[in-house]
Chain A
Amino acid sequence: MGNLFSSKPKPKPSRVTPQDRAILELKKQRDTLRTYQRKIENDQEVLKRLAKQCLKDGNKNKAKLLLRKKKRQETLMTQTEQQIDNLEVMANDIEFAQLESNVFEGLKVGNESLKAMHKLMSYEDVEKIMEETQEGIEYQRELDELLAGSVTQEDEESILAELDDLVGDKEKIQNLPDAPTDELEQKTEARKEKKQERTLLEAS
């Protein structure tokens, strides 16, 4: 349909689906109803104005008639609103269904590529590789133990005991009494006196 109006031929195929056309039809109907609503709104304004005028002129009966007409149009308005709502719900449903089918397509493609990947890795192969890997890990651990001189449980205990001893020694040292200071002072004083005596002797 679009080709009728565009002058040059289209290189790409149309991206408009039959669903899109259905949606367009629904939306076109909705537009028509909206225009109709505008017409009713306009009519109501006119009727109101006319009724007012009739009252002013003292023609009460005619005013009543006009207001009745206006009331009828109000119900028409709500009905139109409902119809618009129906059309929009329908259009939204189609739009959403289209999205869903796209999602489904996406999932299908994903699933297929996942399957292809799984074909590349068979269960038996993986099991074998994992077993071999486990063996390799075990072997490595044994090697590590050998090379590290293998610290056993007993060794660990003796190491801890030694550590405790060291801590005990340190505490003992801290508990020693303070060294006496008085005696030392006396001694130095005595030494000083002796020295003085000696110098005196030498001088004489």
Chain B
Amino acid sequence: MGTTSNFRWPWQYDFPPFFTMQKNADTRFKQTEAWCSLILDYHNHHKLFRLRVTDVLASPLFYNKAIDRRLTKPDVIEILSILHKKGNIEWEDKEKTVCKVFWKTPAQWSDIIFKWVNQSGLNNTVCTLHEITNGPHSSDQEFYALDDQILMQAIQILQASGKAELMGTEGVKFFT
């Protein structure tokens, strides 16, 4: 999915020790932080909202073919659990095989969507969830092709503050 990258890898990506977990606590902290932001940037760039651990192990994200280095599964799980603590990912199953990746939190998405609602005068209008993320009126928006579940979470936030009301699972009415 996504365009083949003009994604800008961080310098660490070409640095072989980056793919081996460091022993020194300080260095290890910096290393995991760099991995965390790399994962979020990568998913942001490619507009990916979901990560399947088995798939991603072989993807360029954790496997640098050029220097023939890869991150092992336990290391990936460790970094993902750090992201989980930060609130940037959410496991979808108990076995921790698939997770949602929030390079923007649902609250941030709700702000962006509501700004768009105001700008395009959609207040007091009924919209299908499908047209919000896939309609012709939002093709230039950041939330175009946003994951359905994340969209739902964002709209639930708007609903809690009275700015929207869900109509079942397929529609929403926006207010002011």
Chain A interface residues (CB < 8 Å from chain B): 1-2, 4-6, 12, 14-16, 20-21, 23-24, 27-28, 30-31, 34, 95
Contacts and interface: CB of A to CB of B under 8 A. Distances in A.
Contacts, number: 51
Given A16-B173, A28-B171, A2 B166 contact: yes
Nearest to B125: A95
Interface string B158-169: 010010011111
B166 A12 contact: no
Nearest to A24: B171
Interface of B: 125-128, 130-131, 134-135, 156, 159, 162, 165-171, 173, 175
Interface of B (DSSP majority class)? mixed
A2 B165 CA distance: 8
A121 B173 CA distance: 44
Given A2-B168, A6-B159, A15 B173 contact: yes
A24 B165 contact: no
Contacts of B130: 28, 31
B133 to A, nearest CB: 11
Contacts of B156: 6
The 9 closest A-B pairs by CB, nearest first: A24-B171, A31-B130, A23-B126, A27-B128, A20-B126, A1-B168, A2-B166, A24-B126, A31-B128
